[in-house]
Amino acid sequence: MAVHPRMKKAIFLVWLLFVPAGMWFTFQTFPPHFSGEWLDLIAFLTLTSVVAFMPMVINNTPIFLIQWVSLATFLSFGLFIEMVFAQAAVILLLLKLRIRKEQYFRIPLNLIMFFLVSLVSGVVYYSLGGKTGPSLINDTNAIWLAAIYALVNYFLNQVIISFYLFFIYKRKESYFGKDFIVETITTFITLPLGFVLYMSYNQLGLLALLIVAVPFASLSIIFKLYYSSQKINEYLQKAAEIGHQMAERLEVDGVIDLFIQKLSEMLPVDYAYIFDVISEDELQLVRRIQCGTGITIENAKIKNNQGISGNVWKKQKGCLYHSKKDWKPYSKGYLPDDAESVLAVPIVRNKKVIGVLLLASKQKRAYEKSQLMIVDILCSYFAVAIENAKHYEVTKTQSERCALTNLYNYRYFEKILTEEFDKLFHFERKVLSLIILDIDHFKSVNDTYGHQSGNEILCELAARLSNIVGSRGTVARYGGEEFVVLLPEADKEEAYQLAEMIRQSIANWPFILQQSLELKKQQVKITASIGVATAPEDAEDPFALVRHADRALYVGAKRAGRNRVAEYSSC
């Protein structure tokens, strides 16, 4: 969620104008209960720092369980000391999270929030007659007021957070999600620790901090392990779903696009690279995605054991780097300068590395070891899906293409012709033209130069037709020495001109034979007869269009002397 630069400047200005002055006002109005116990203050500050360094992260949101320590600090030393410690805890937490430069505004933003929460909660407590210091242990009324202080502190904190999310971060989704529920439960579970710490401190001294801190640290570690395992389970479920989705894709590009898309949804991915193994010692970059956009890089190749990807390929083991200084010595220069975290994993199929995936983020420490394991699993799914897609594309090509000329075959031509007529009937097309071409006296070419030479002519003619027609239509081998060209949105005049261009390219430029019967290169001149028909002018169904173009070919061109173009005429 991006924050406008002017808003960031305003946040720094608000902090500068109000927080230092407010701290001074608090010191003067509510002086601390402090009589030289520097060791005690250092101990409480140390406990505050430890708690700040152990946040729970849920849905990428750090949950800051500092309230119980703040409560004990407030009751023991007063509002000013609690306020100073809370400010220090915020700074320590943000340092632990390693926020990026563009997010430095979060420091004054959170300092403002904790200052307001501390000030308002403390003023409410003092206004109700509450006091601070070591003399509250046997005062039941003071304990109830402390509970009110804790509740005001928590709910005011939630109000300010929701205000920040809505007005500063422009977040539209509901704030009361899973992380809010978990934070509420854990806060109310840990708040009694604040009362226990306060009372134990007044009776046992600094030993109380150790007695209370150890269970809390254990609780934090348990929570962290629990949510880490839960997060891994969620990743595994997502990985299985992505694997099924990739298996349903039948094109290689579709599999790659889905793979990168899902990875970007799961992880903070600013740059993604997919390398293919093209030889025993060389990788080639086949896809690069930068901030969600695909970029083509020509001739980007890496040797085995060179660069991050080369090392991953050689060792057949993934790697994880938390910052630029860690991977910079191994990089081959294709990673952008603003990349920080890097995760690279080999793509393995049948115990053989067939490629390498490399992900990069602009954030430091963006990836975890558990995510490395998940991406490794996903790469296994990806390898299978890619292989299946390649097999499908080969099978599809073989079923749709002529093995000799690589043009579309008769089966595919019939399919596309039917589809184009459907578009014609539904007014998605205005006109549809068909060209049928037949080589003149092709049997004599085979008899004179051999069938292998005849095949060479068919292949070269196919190439000429593809170059002339280009993207204007579909070229197919109709059978034997016959070819067809289907031209959507081309009227009869346009189709006739294109057919004449094809006829001239055949008649005016000889065909070169490499493997004639005389075992030497030879030039052969051939001609072709061509028929043209157009729908709906000449035909109302696909078969009629073919039949009428064929009639124009044999009646209008062949019988008239060959080497010419003829239009269909019903007369």
Q: Which residues are tagged catalytic?
A: 481
Of residues 494, 553, 511, the one with CA closest to residue 529: 553
Whole-angstrom distance, CA of residue 197 vs CA of residue 52: 17
Q: Which residue has the tokens 């119980």?
A: 68
Distance of CA 9 to the CA centre of its chain: 31
For 101-107, which contacts have Cβ atoms below 8 Å and span 24 or more sequence positions?
Answer: 105/3, 105/7, 105/8, 105/11, 105/12
β-bridge pairing 271-279 and 61-63? unpaired
Q: Are 304 and 310 in contact (CB under 8 A)?
A: yes
CA distance 291 to 269: 8
Q: Which residues contact 161 (CB under 8 A, 6 or more apart)?
A: 113, 175
* Token pair belonging to 116: 């307001």
Give me the phi and psi of 251, to 5 degrees please.
-115, 145
C-beta separation of 503 from 557 below 8 A: no
Q: Is 273 helix (H, G, I), strand (E, B) or coil?
A: strand
Is-contact 72 78, C-beta < 8 A?
Answer: no
Question: Which residue's entry shows tokens 């995936």?
Answer: 357
d(CA 143, CA 135): 11
Interhelix angle 178-204/67-77, rounded to 10 degrees, is 30
Q: Assess contact for 255 and 386: CB atoms under 8 A.
A: yes
Hey, what are 192's tokens? 């009694």
Alpha helices by DSSP H, listed for 426-491, are 442-449, 451-469
